[in-house]
A and B are shown apart, each in its own frame.
Chain A
Amino acid sequence: MSREYDPSPEGNPSVLARRNRFQTALVKFIGKRTPKCREVVRILSQAMDSKLPLSMRIKLRLHYLICAWCKRYEKHLHELRKFASSVPDHTDAFSEDTLSPTAKERMKEALRETRRK
């Protein structure tokens, strides 16, 4: 049998840490009944693309109580999305490429053509 893992070491930033017997019992209870972090991060990614069942959303909420890290992970996934959707406003950081004058002329010509139609 493997040594019991302590999901809540000293200095744990989570809401519930093993600060007293009651919390210890609660932390263990939640730790056993919610998915493990390795699984949680997979589920969190899915949650970005589809709505999770209510029961899973509740489990995640409970898990966050004992795991500040997964909670951060979820926040970071949302921030990643924010970053990705802001890329078009920051394209100059991505490259210094510009359209060549001939390409611009060609585009203008094509646009004049389109407008005439």
Chain B
Amino acid sequence: MDSAKSQACTKRTDTIDPERWVEEHGDCLYRYALLRVRRPEVAEDLVQEAFCAGVRTFGSFRGESSERSWLCGILKNKICDYFRKLGRETCFTDLEFLEDELSHKFVPQGFWNHDLGPLEWKPEAEVVMHRNEFWETFKNCLARLPRRVADVFMLREMEEMETAQICDALSISPNNLWVMLHRARMALRECLEMNWFKGHSPGGSV
């Protein structure tokens, strides 16, 4: 029993091969970091930090997820830390974004204008996620958001940071955060619908 255990342990430490990590996952992690922090030198540093943290904490890797998503999880934490250090007050011009832009979607009584309300998205999310062109569209839609609004959205939805932590990290009030997240979601939803689902849904069902 004990020997089986120790054998398993040896096997685990044997499988750690950080140099292979760099070859196999380096580019993927780098692209993710680059999307998030936009500066190549910062992205490189973050990836390196993530790898090093991976070496140090490899013992806690249970193999429940793939090696890549485990490393990606570490990288996400590093990205959160980066934004924490960066934290500064949001530029208020960002918040003016979309202030009234989508108001034409609603009638004065506050209901949806039925001709402009959300469409049925077809094909389903699971299906479109396999299409490279979809991700092109997704990227372009993200890029249309004001930078800080995009940062907040991605911290929340990609790094899965808690809202209270985002407020702390970026020193923004909870209220501003709600507004930013709401507008980011609204704008992204709209952009995906207009630039992807509308063109791809058979018959453009309303």
Compute how far the CA of A96 lies from the CA of B72 in the bound complex, rounded to whole angstroms.
18
**In the complex the two chains form, is B189's CB within 8 Å of A80's CB?**
yes
Task: Report the interface size class on chain A.
Answer: 35 or more
**In the complex the two chains form, is B32's CB within 8 Å of A76's CB?**
no
**In the complex the two chains form, is B31's CB within 8 Å of A42's CB?**
no
In the complex, which residues of chain B have a beta carbon less than 8 angstroms from the beta carbon of A107? 22, 26, 44, 47-48, 51
Binds B, one of A18-26, A54-62, A65-73: A65-73
A45-B185, A115-B18 known; A83+B129 contact, CB < 8 A: yes
In the complex, which residues of chain B have a beta carbon less than 8 angstroms from the beta carbon of A83? 125, 129, 138, 192
Compute how far the CA of A73 lies from the CA of B163 in the bound complex, rounded to whole angstroms.
21
**In the complex the two chains form, is B52's CB within 8 Å of A110's CB?**
yes
**In the complex the two chains form, is A94's CB within 8 Å of B139's CB?**
yes
B121 interfacial by beta-carbon distance below 8 Å: yes
Task: Report the interface size class on chain B.
Answer: 35 or more
**In the complex the two chains form, is A85's CB within 8 Å of B163's CB?**
no
B9 interfacial by beta-carbon distance below 8 Å: no
Shortest distance between the CB of A6 and any CB in chain B (Å):
9
Majority secondary structure of chain A interface residues (helix, strand, loop or mixed): helix
Mark contacts of A30-49 with chain B using CB atoms, 8 A cut-off: 1 yes-contact digit, 0 otherwise.
01000011110110011011
Compute how far the CA of A76 lies from the CA of B108 in the bound complex, rounded to whole angstroms.
24
**In the complex the two chains form, is B118's CB within 8 Å of A99's CB?**
no
B110 interfacial by beta-carbon distance below 8 Å: yes
In the complex, which residues of chain A have a beta carbon less than 8 angstroms from the beta carbon of B32? 87-88, 91, 94
**In the complex the two chains form, is B31's CB within 8 Å of A92's CB?**
yes
In the complex, which residues of chain B have a beta carbon less than 8 angstroms from the beta carbon of A88? 28, 32, 69, 72, 158
Q: What are some 24 contacts across the A-B interface (CB < 8 A)?
A: A31-B111, A36-B109, A37-B117, A41-B182, A48-B181, A49-B181, A70-B112, A72-B117, A85-B157, A88-B69, A88-B158, A92-B31, A93-B132, A95-B34, A97-B27, A103-B44, A106-B48, A110-B51, A110-B52, A111-B18, A111-B21, A111-B51, A114-B56, A115-B18
Given A110-B48, A114-B52, 5 other A-B residues pairs in contact with their CB atoms under 8 A: A38-B106, A72-B120, A87-B135, A97-B27, A98-B30
